[in-house]
Chains A and B, each alone.
Chain A
């Protein structure tokens, strides 16, 4: 090959074969410069450090996080010499690194999605109070998953839970989670809730959940979503765009199902409250009956009193009319014909006297 005469095309092809053999993919870290989007489809930028600069090229659809000049990134790329003689890194994946760049990528994507209204409150769907069919996407090898299962088993029973095992960090993770979201959304009978959980980690670990296609897949899910990623202080675009955000995977389990002990206590309290209401009703009826009886007795008493009073008046009147009383006052009762020679009977209070009429005169 050393002395072989090659055409330019052959040289480019051989160079690319050699590069492909020696470096199928490389990971290169550097700072983004001269970031451009051409025709709304192609992305180009330069990756640089203090000593060198290299061209990077990819399709816009390949971009998972918005970039800006000055951001520090790692690109996973295939080195290629193109037919125009430019050496490029053909990017397969790019991810911001370092706290500042990760935050910058987060803010850029957040602003973009916010502009589209994807965080709007009116988009948020409520979760069923007690879902029966639940889909979970997580790494089944994680402590977060173990905690989640422990909590839901403690809190509730009778649930049908289907778990999709995916990576939850690293370059392949977003696509795996997206495939799992699509899988659950394609089921004939949809689960009632789609839960996505991951435990705590570094900002770089959690950056999986700031991946644009993943965030959009969560927003497009037909199944209401509950996302719990990291610790309470961690905020990812995935949990911000979900229907319900859980602070942690444990919190996701707490939001998902009620606590059976609380429900048992509440059922007991309800039954007791019914007993109390019944006792109250009986008391109220008794009181009312007693009041009615008292009112009836009072009426009867009033009537009796009025009658006795009337009777008293009548007795006085009758007593005044009694002839005995008149005789006691000194009057006498006279019986017989008032003609001369007739015998008269005179009744006083003490005696009955017989007398003869000697004279009768007109008054």
Chain B
């Protein structure tokens, strides 16, 4: 379930919500619930790590706007 390679934080948040939904929905099976629970815990941990380390890339546009081109 948890895929550390490419998924964005947003994707991981969606995955986590889906997992919660699975636990609350009719597809719930006790046999697979423990694995899903482990996935949810791992996702929450990854989200925290991702959010803590991510930095913003802020660039000033070189183009000048004080005159018409």
Q: List the interface of chain A (C-beta within 8 A of B).
A: 129-130, 132, 140, 149, 152-153, 156-167, 172, 176-177, 179-180, 183, 260, 263-264, 267-268, 270-271, 273-275, 277-278, 281-282, 285
Question: With A274-B40, A275-B37 as given contacts, are A159 and B20 in contact (CB-CB < 8 Å)?
Answer: no
Q: With contacts A162-B59, A163-B60, A172-B66 known, is A281 near B33, CB below 8 A?
A: yes
Q: Which residues of A contact B41 (CB under 8 A)?
A: 271, 274-275
The main secondary structure of chain B at its interface with chain A is helix
Chain B residues in 8 Å Cβ range of A264: 47-48, 51-52
User: Which chain B positions have C-beta within 8 A of A162?
Assistant: 59-61
Nearest-Cβ distance from residue B62 to partner chain A, whole angstroms = 10
Contact A149 B58 (CB under 8 A): yes
Chain A residues near B16 (CB-CB < 8 A): 267, 270-271
Chain A residues near B33 (CB-CB < 8 A): 278, 281
Interface centre among A160, A267, A285 (most CB of B within 10 A): A267
Please name the residue on chain A nearest to B20 by beta carbon. A270
Partner of B23, one of A157, A159, A177, A278: A278
Query: Residue B1 at the A interface, CB < 8 A?
Result: no
Listed by A's residue number, 18 A-B pairs whose Cβ atoms lie within 8 Å are: A140-B60, A157-B50, A157-B56, A160-B56, A161-B57, A165-B60, A166-B66, A180-B61, A264-B47, A264-B48, A267-B48, A270-B19, A271-B43, A273-B23, A274-B23, A278-B23, A281-B30, A281-B33
